[in-house]
Structure 1
Amino acid sequence: MIRSLRLVRLLSQRPIYTSSRQLTTLGLRREDPKRIWERRTALTPDAVKGLISEQKGQEELQVEVESCGRRCFSDQLYQQAGAKIVPSLSGEVDVVLGIKEPPVEDVHRLIVAKEGKERKWMMFSHTHKGQEYNTPLLEAFLSPTKGQTLIDHELLTAPSTGKDGKPSRTRVAAFGWYAGAVGAGEALSMTGIALLKRGIASPLLHLPRPYASGTLAEFKASLRKCGQFIRSSPATETKGQGPIVIGVTGGGNVSTGAKEMLDELNVEWVRAEELTGLKDAPTNRVYACMIPTSSYIIGTDGEPYDRTAYYKTPAQYKSIFAEKIAPYLTTIINGVGWSSAFPRTISNSDLSSLLGASSGQGQKQKLAAVQDITCDKEGGLEFVNQFTTIDEPYFEGPGGILISSIDILPTELAADASAHFSSKILPYVRRALFPEAQGDKTGEDDTVQRAMIVDQGELLEPHRWLLPKVEAWRSSSSSSNATETTPNSAPLGQSRQGGKKKVLLLGSGLVAGPAVEVFAARSDVRLAIASNNLSEAKSHIKDRANVEAIALDVGDEVALGEAVAASDVVVSLLPASMHPQVAKHCINFSKHLVTASYVSPEMKSLDQAAKEKDVILLGECGLDPGMDSMAAMRILDRVKREGKRVTSFVSWCGGLPEPSASNVPLRYKFSWSPKAVLTAAQNEAHYKMNNEIVKIPGDQLLSKHFPEVNLWPELKLEGLANRDSLPYAEKYGLGEVDSLKDLFRGTLRYQGFSSLLESFRKLGLLSNDPLKIVPENWQEFLSLSIARQVGYEKSLKADDVPRVLSDLVVDPKIREETLEALSWFSLLPSSKSTSISSIPLPNLRAPVPVDLFAHLLSHKLAYNPGERDTCLLHHSFTLEGARKEEKVTASLLHYGDEQSSAMSVTVGKTLAFAALRVLDGQVKQRGVTGPYEREVWEGTLDSLESVGVVVKEEWS
């Protein structure tokens, strides 16, 4: 039988063990690092302590716990419980316990650590349905590997009685209730935002998201408080929307969890048939309805719902949810799973009819938010066509409906969910550890046996249908590994399999969408999007047949190497600090690498190795750096051909909201965390202007800004010097710095940004030094920051702020603007302010002002739906020729649209077009470099112009 060459290599290098100890060892895994928000654990410290105590005087038990700083219970708590904290599990482990599936390489390493060791693995493996992406994990447990047993949490079921009174089986350890509880919380929070987008301020805006509460008890308390506030408030005008009405589908643990949270909110429950009468109901109530299947599923011939017949012949039934239920709901919380044999609850055509009916009546449909807890992409709710994350919990669907589909909801209340799961799984963990010592517990034995997918390296009978899938994967893996041994066997631009050129895109975040669009448009290209957020990566596939998504943790060197080896060109959207790691794999397998990041010293050190392997490591192919250098090199190429010399180079670049979206303090908005912007505004700068070398300390950068930068008449701009400009004399081939009158690179902002941010800096809001006291609210945060800044021992009262500000800010106009902005940001009380005042303070380990302020700005200055950003670039050259001085400019003013932001387009498409030139063999240069050669910049700029991203040149 063909075996993975990777595992064979590992086995050939296995260490020799001589230990003869006879204790039993339980290993508690840390969850896969690529699951950033996964903080749950399968056993709590108390459960570990109990297990160890139970075994005293009997067979000795040791518990190894893999160290993890993200887990909801600390390493110290497990250590105090008697566990041994280890960097990774040892080969002596008898039972490996976790929540989600582990990286395959972790399985291989543990098997190799002690070959032939009988070992049980307990997890939600997601292998029993034959999913292609998890076939390698299933294969790792199978013969010729010896002694491995796989027990799947999802298959741990005990006898029960179904709703129809017939014998059934129920899962004994699951997170469904918590998924429903957290899903309800997310739905309520999202509803508040959805209504705000429609001009309606609801008390739900003040409700924190579940993860911000920390515990279930605290979240319930928040719900009760919000419910009391709603009931005690007077009825308000809701622009024809009527009261908030929540509909919950499903009848299992998910819907039960959701219902219990709605009860905490003190909703008023109604039956499905009563929904039509709520249009004129009081708006200081939230109404909710548990929606049974019988209320919206009917026979295609109009006959009423019959459960037995429905499950026997689902094709003879249809859903009338969009017609009968949806028009009366503000929010849907969906807890009903779906399979293709059954009618969808709401199809795309159903939704179109719903939206069309509302439009025909000259109003917005009532439905504003949908929380799909089932995460069935294009399933029962067909219009739910992408997954979301805890970081980015919703997207805007048809009709402006906000849609959320998060697949790890229980981890938002990780400690509570883990405690629940731990209590349920514990008897079966005992059974796995000490089967002989548990006595005659036939029910538990039967439950564990049913949950086994693999026993001693062999697939059990209910799962043997998976074997052909495993064999096919082994055959493919063996063929791929054989190919890898001769990485230079195919010429550049020719894929070694299937005839398509293969691109590996590392990362699926902000700029991935436009890059994927460019690659997918090429029928001769096969694109693999590799990400530690698989759902996000999958969202970029859409209906593109030449795009796939794969889960990848770049910290897994073996997996990263395999992904690189299977590609022709690697394109990295990862943080710049990770590029050297990726580059080393590219050199090892003779693959080319393209990034949008600056070429760091660490990358530059790989130059010779890359040249020896005939590889290019091409960086700085984004906007800045990227298009700025390409546009400059295009001009400089002509300057050189015409025998002229540059005497001055001044460059400006920036990303801003369009003017209509900039009517906010700072005249700036963020689509991601603003901390980098706040930090950059305090960086030291170095440049040459008017024949003088200028060096600005970081704490003076804002005060020494350029108050007017006149580049576009319609834009009132100012600027800040951008770090060190002097190295660009060598980068661009401008000659010696001494020969230049000007050498400057700057960052563009709207006028007023720098003076206001400087006021905030003087008030201590940009400080990196933690406060000694943890503020309880935003106004106390301001008081504590100012007090420390001016040397007060205690916090200030709000009335003291204007007086202190007058000492710190001399200009009365700026002082007044600062006070208004502080009120707008809810840092000072104001009767005029209509902005949200209850954004929760983040639960930081240390209350660092810049971190707290960045969190506030990320909420207050986020882009709203329909608002666009713009990217600006402007180069100004002064040339010295044989006859006269000449001026040349290159400028870009590009706006985002509904599909993509300007920033994601200018970075993502630039990167993709440059990578395609490498892929097509049009770039001959090798080693570590930027886009300074004609073979890179010329074709890339031409391609950008073909999609409407144009850098205009003017020569005079």
Structure 2
Amino acid sequence: MHIVVFGAGKSATVLIAYLGRICNEKNWIGTIADKDLQSLEQKIAGFPSLKANALNIENETERQGLIKTADIVISLLPPGLHFWVAQDCVALRKNLLTASYLDAQIKSLEPAIKEAGLLFIGEMGLDPGIDHMSAMQIIEEIKEKGGSIHSFKSHCGGLIAPESDNNPWHYKISWNPRNIVTAGKAGAVYKADGNNVEIPYELIFVDCEQLEIPEVGSLAYYPNRDSLSYIPLYQLEKANTFIRTTLRYASFCTGWEKMVTARLTSDEEIINTDELSYAEFFNSHLNKHQVSLDTAELQEQFDFLGLNNPAMINKGQIACSQLLQEILEEKWKLTQGDKDLIVMLHEFEYTLHQQRFALSSSLVVKGDDERKTAMAKTVGLPLGIAAVLILENKIQLKGLHIPIVKEIYEPVLAELAKEGIAFKETKKELA
């Protein structure tokens, strides 16, 4: 068997190690394709069954030539590039797995995927991915017992572990930094107490609510994009509350709300950074949009990023968001020995045999170091496990799916538990 992986970035390290172990055991072959050959060769070192391929993803001949040799394809490329791989997989009759949200382009291939008798699974990472699988397992169990679910809240966040938390934002980057800068830009819609609630981008990070997570403590959360679209997928149309959120430490939300108000995350505003200092960049935006750093903590957060840094930027014309991303990639990078933290919590309220219950299911995963991160574990392992199950004919579905189907989530969650990724449940009766 030959497994082909496109993309070897931050989220791929544990997937590569997992596939290296599996391929060694089963005498399979894995090819990891990425433009950064030097970094790639370091990641596959020690796994003789894995090969590095310095692929230019835009080169159709190279891309199709590699896909043609595969028994299954995994794409960890930036979301906008999946469609090239997906089209080739349809044409060349290859199954495909990705961790990204299914977008309109990928969904447009659904008839062709079905006609070709292929299996494409999207949203097969952490969030989306493990969140779908773990939630659906509980939803199905409650329904099979005759229960009725009234409220569903799903929270997930990539955080920094307490022992590596040494900056005033209480955050470091363990995944795609572009996604951090664009967080919340689409606004959010969700259902609360029977009503649909819509929150614009400007208010996403204002007065974030907080909750307690076992083993972690108090965290804040903000709503994710479009929660409503998942109601029919989870078959929870009768639930009065349905929301999916992102977890952060509370001070992060307070600081990021200032970022948004000051338009430091803007893609549209292009600035000339020649002869412009970092201090001028931050202060000009704060002053222009009348944003005051009215606490010592906010002052410390922005000072950490360059509020008082006189160094010149000198990067020519650049979007505010791109400059901010470059600053964050440097200031929030994981350093040697740093450990990150993945936290997920599902909260259910339901009725069973005329009694109301509250059920919480939590997952806390800590990274090993700055390379084998908790983020890489929880994004990469579901993809690797699903690939193996498909190649061994233990998942025999066809068509375009996300992992809300029992045939996918049951065996994958069982294998994840063997890898140390398992949920803890608590249940109590409500008055």
Task: With the length of structure 1 as denominator, give the TM-score of the two structures.
Answer: 0.43
Structure-2 separation of matches of 1:876 and 1:842: 48
Q: What is the total number of aligned residue pairs between the two structures?
A: 423
Aligned to 1:824: 304
Structure-2 separation of matches of 1:583 and 1:943: 26
Structure-2 separation of matches of 1:689 and 1:536: 46
Per-residue deviation, 1:681: 3.8
CA contact (8 A) 2:277 2:311 kept: no
Question: Of residues 333, 336, 339 in structure 2, which corresponds to 1:865?
Answer: 336
Aligned to 1:719: 221
**Mapping of residues 294-693 of structure 1, within 5 Å:** 501-522=1-22, 523-524=25-26, 525-671=28-174, 674-693=177-196
Aligned to 1:766: 265
Higher strand share: 2
Provide closer, same or farther for how the CA distance between residues 526 and 748 of structure 1 changes in structure 2, counting only shifts above 3 A.
same
Higher relative contact order (CA 8 A, sep 6+): 2
CA contact (8 A) 1:841 1:852 kept: no
Per-residue deviation, 1:886: 2.1
Structure-1 separation of matches of 2:377 and 2:339: 12
One-letter amino acid matched to 2:264: L
Aligned to 1:933: 405
1:752 aligns with 2:237: no
Provide closer, same or farther for how the CA distance between residues 692 and 750 of structure 1 changes in structure 2, counting only shifts above 3 A.
same
Structure-2 separation of matches of 1:645 and 1:587: 40
Aligned to 1:903: 375
Per-residue deviation, 1:673: 6.2
One-letter amino acid matched to 1:575: P
Question: Of residues 409, 426, 430 in structure 2, which corresponds to 1:954?
Answer: 426
One-letter amino acid matched to 1:826: G
Deviations 1:8-67 (A, max 9, x none): xxxxxxxxxxxxxxxxxxxxxxxxxxxxxxxxxxxxxxxxxxxxxxxxxxxxxxxxxxxx
CA contact (8 A) 1:596 1:620 kept: yes
Per-residue deviation, 1:881: 2.1
Provide closer, same or farther for how the CA distance between residues 660 and 543 of structure 1 changes in structure 2, counting only shifts above 3 A.
closer
Question: Of residues 281, 290, 313 in structure 2, which corresponds to 1:841?
Answer: 313
Cα RMSD over matched residues?
Answer: 2.1
Structure-1 separation of matches of 2:275 and 2:212: 42
CA contact (8 A) 1:682 1:700 kept: no
Deviations 1:529-571 (A, max 9, x none): 1222222222232232211112222222222222111111111
Aligned to 1:876: 347
Structure-2 separation of matches of 1:584 and 1:669: 35
One-letter amino acid matched to 1:906: T
Structure-2 separation of matches of 1:589 and 1:672: 31
CA contact (8 A) 1:565 1:589 kept: yes
Structure-1 separation of matches of 2:168 and 2:196: 33
Provide closer, same or farther for how the CA distance between residues 936 and 842 of structure 1 changes in structure 2, counting only shifts above 3 A.
farther
Per-residue deviation, 1:838: 7.1
Provide closer, same or farther for how the CA distance between residues 668 and 939 of structure 1 changes in structure 2, counting only shifts above 3 A.
same
Partner secondary structure for residue 614 of structure 1? coil
Provide closer, same or farther for how the CA distance between residues 617 and 675 of structure 1 changes in structure 2, counting only shifts above 3 A.
closer
One-letter amino acid matched to 1:664: N
Per-residue deviation, 1:775: 4.8
1:730 aligns with 2:210: no
Partner secondary structure for residue 521 of structure 1? helix
Per-residue deviation, 1:760: 3.3
Deviations 1:291-316 (A, max 9, x none): xxxxxxxxxxxxxxxxxxxxxxxxxx
Aligned to 2:211: 709
CA contact (8 A) 1:683 1:701 kept: no
CA contact (8 A) 1:673 1:858 kept: no
CA contact (8 A) 1:842 1:855 kept: no
Structure-2 separation of matches of 1:532 and 1:756: 35
Provide closer, same or farther for how the CA distance between residues 591 and 633 of structure 1 changes in structure 2, counting only shifts above 3 A.
same
Per-residue deviation, 1:625: 0.5
1:789 aligns with 2:289: yes
The unaligned stretches of length 5 or more in structure 2 are none
Per-residue deviation, 1:870: 0.3
Query: Which has more radius of gyration?
Result: 1
One-letter amino acid matched to 1:761: V
Task: With the length of structure 2 as denominator, give the TM-score of the two structures.
Answer: 0.92
Deviations 1:868-924 (A, max 9, x none): 100011111112223211222221100001350100011111110011111111112
The unaligned stretches of length 5 or more in structure 1 are 1-500, 791-804, 829-836
CA contact (8 A) 1:505 1:573 kept: yes
- Percent identity between the two aligned chains: 29
Structure-2 separation of matches of 1:673 and 1:593: 21
Question: Of residues 837, 850, 854 in structure 1, which corresponds to 2:325?
Answer: 854
CA contact (8 A) 1:649 1:742 kept: yes
Deviations 1:317-357 (A, max 9, x none): xxxxxxxxxxxxxxxxxxxxxxxxxxxxxxxxxxxxxxxxx
Aligned to 1:777: 277
1:743 aligns with 2:242: yes
One-letter amino acid matched to 1:944: L
Per-residue deviation, 1:818: 2.1
Deviations 1:220-248 (A, max 9, x none): xxxxxxxxxxxxxxxxxxxxxxxxxxxxx
Aligned to 1:388: none
Structure-1 separation of matches of 2:178 and 2:110: 33
